Amino acid sequence: MSCKTHSTTYKSFEEFPIYEGNDLGVSYSGQLSMFKLWSPEAEAVKLRLYEEGLGGEAIQEENMHQGEKGVWVSKLKGNQEKLYYTYQIKHKGQWLAESPDPYSIACGANGQRSMILDWKNAAPIDWDKDKAPPLKKPNDIILYEVHVRDFSIHQSSGIQHKGKFLGFTEQNTQTLNGIKTGIAHLKELGVTHVHLLPSFDFRSLDEELPYSEDRYNWGYDPHLYNVPEGTYSTNAKAGHVRVQEFRAMVQALHQAGIRVILDVVYNHTGATEESVFNQTTPGYYYRQNAEGGFSNASACGNEIASERPMVRQFIVNSVKHWVKNYHIDGFRFDLMGIHDIETMQAVRAALDEIDPNIFVYGEGWLAGDSPLAEDKRATKANVSQLNGVAAFSDEIRDGLKGHVFTQDARGFVSGLENQKMSVQYGIVGGINHPQIDFSKVNYTDKAWASSPSQCIVYTSCHDNHTLWDRLLNSIPKASEAERTQMQQLALGIVLTSQGVPFLHAGSEFCRTKDGVENSYKHPDSTNQIVWTRKEKYHSTFDFVKNMIALRKKHPAFRQATATAVAANLNFLETDNANLIAYQLNSEAAGDTWKQILVYHNGSNENISVDLPKGNWQVVVEAEQVNEAGIRTVKSKLDLPKIGTLILKK
């Protein structure tokens, strides 16, 4: 059958037609499959069907016909479930490489061919009954960031499905000495949301190869955005298996009372010229630089042009897809600053229609310059225009431990004296508090959060050194006991701050990556969570667990509005440059305690302070956390070095 050629040319991408339908990709029923691909400048498009995800010849080839608004269409009668398909377009007289569908919902190994999926046949038992655990407000969230493989791959995890989605479904796992691991650990710790590092289909790992500890990647090199990653599945070749297993993971976390955040990387693709987008709609999905080449604000070779209507539509429909078909409860946007404000507003609006409690946050910066105007970027500085979207506070991150890219830099918890105001800015949740002197705050000269829930408070994440390794680098002469105190102080500050606390997996038991700063493709031996460290640093785990429980019980630590924080949190004068002290009018914040005093001592010396009038009960001191009270004090208090001390009235 001959392939009829159509030729449509446009002067610019702005002239490309906008297709507003929600049926791009394949629409399947047992009697009919409808294929739709948006490719306005294509001169011809071929659809090929295969029995396998890799290898073999096409069993059917169809010439698609051009429909409305740049969409190419093919309709096949019969039941094509579990067949694989590709597209090939002719552009400017040349046939481009055969490509999977950018709108794929399933695929074969390595995402080379898309798969026709019946959702009903890719669901775990009782999937239709799955519901997210309740959430009252964003400030109740406690985030826990983890890589799927890291979570279970170490031999001490006691998990059978090591490195797989199904590792999250195994109940009551433990080390040989009976210490809880896996999902049992998450329940014991008390976090509310698990943030999964990229778990969509990415390029860097060959899904056909057998297990090897050297085959590792974080996954920030997107290939197919709407398909789960095959290396985390027990059968990467069968497209429906990865779908079912991802859903089973979400279901298990929900049953454990934990919501699920997906780390999404819409800002760039793993390949550039050879990407799925570029093989089906050349150039359109990417920003161009002044020379006409690919601009590169991601520092990964390209950046997505989110401001173009069909790109924005793809991103919005993609997050809706993950919510509808996988019950995802939130999204962390990688390099969110590359996206335009209008797109992030559209994402928020679309999710609000489904569930306003779906949490959205991202990195409020770029990795390089972009042709997108600064006032249109979804950066930290513009977060006030993004209601319901939060950003990471690098102010408190670097204030706590030191400049992130300077390996031996110290911060507040390791004795540096000029970081106090940056930490206090994080403590109030990035809002405009009358006692914050912005001339002394890192990286910002004004408040950028409209409410505390727009500020992600953290001290470490997958990027750069773990907190433990940074402390080893910056204070090599400190004893292990002193570094443990610093670790606890940093996490204690995060968990009592008014913003949304974020924990890097394993930081609750002093996780190390053996000093590796950028471990994105280092082997398991570097990245794995070594669960036996929970045994060694059990006092730190208990401290973090108890601080989480304290935060959950007392709303004074998680007030909902900037007005409430400004009114109810008062910093106290201190003579020591490395002592932060503040009083919470907790009764006014709806707490059962009338007043709360918080002291964070980052200095390496004991400090004596005068207390406000009255009798005070110490509830947090060093590693101890006791709601009932450890001891009663009045008038004066001796603060131990390097630690958090909290009192109630």
Catalytic residues: 334, 363
* Cα 419 from Cα 264, distance rounded (Å): 32
Going by C-alpha positions, the residue among 139, 210, 219 that lies closest to residue 499 is: 139
Round to whole Å and give the CA distance between 607 and 493: 18
Q: Which amino acid is at 120?
A: K
Number of neighbours of residue 362 by Cβ within 10 angstroms = 29
φ, ψ of residue 223 in degrees (nearest 5): -120, -70
CB distance 407 to 473 below 8 Å: yes
158 token code pair: 């006691």
The tokens for 243 are 């779908």
Between β-strands 94-95 and 596-601, what pairing exists: parallel, antiparallel or unpaired?
unpaired
Contact between 181 and 174 under an 8 Å Cβ cutoff? The reply is yes
Token look-up 């289909």 returns 201
**DSSP E strands, 365-423:** 389-392
Quick one: which of 405, 399, 391, 392 has its CA closest to 464? 405
Q: Which of 203, 151, 212 is nearest to 182 (CA)?
A: 151
Distance CA 552, CA 37 (A): 48
Partners of 570 in beta bridges: 583
Cβ distance 30 to 62 under 8 Å? no
DSSP reduced 3-state for 619: strand
Beta bridge partners of 222: 202
Do residues 240 and 308 make contact, with C-beta atoms less than 8 angstroms apart? no
Q: Which residues contact 402 (CB under 8 A, 6 or more apart)?
A: 408, 409, 410, 411, 414, 416, 470, 474
Nearest CA to 582 out of 596, 593, 563 is that of 596
Cα separations (Å) of 602 from 417, 587, 638, 640? 9, 28, 14, 10
3-state secondary structure 7-72: CCCCCCHHHCCCCCCCCCEEEECCCEEEEEEECCCCCEEEEEEECCCCCCCCCEEEECEECCCCEE
Pairing, β 569-571 against β 596-601: unpaired
Q: 32: left (phi > 0), else alpha (psi -120 to 50), else beta?
A: beta
- State the DSSP string of 302-331: --B-TTSHHHHHHHHHHHHHHHHHH---EE
Strand-pairing partners, residue 637, are 609
Q: Please say whether the beta carbons of 412 and 400 come within 8 A.
A: yes
